[in-house]
Amino acid sequence: MGDLIWEAGCWLGERWNALPERVRSVVGAVVMLALLALAGAIEGTAPSGMYY
């Protein structure tokens, strides 16, 4: 099972590195914004959560 996970990680890493840098930057920015929105939805207030 560990080998399967390792191989999948290596395959995903190769695919990720094959993408142009601009595409990786856009995907990274979209993922970060999505995680920020998710954190804001969980928090229920501003995404920073510093209003306590």
Q: What is the pLDDT of residues 21-47, one digit of tens each?
A: 999 999 999 999 999 888 878 776 655
**More confidently predicted of 48 and 16:** 16
Instruction: Give me the mean pLDDT over the 9-21 stretch.
Output: 93
Contact 10, 18 (CB under 8 A): no
pLDDT score recorded for residue 11: 94
How far apart CA 52 and CA 11 sit, in angstroms, is 44
pLDDT score recorded for residue 9: 92
pLDDT score recorded for residue 6: 94
State the pTM of this model.
0.63
How far apart CA 52 and CA 49 sit, in angstroms, is 7
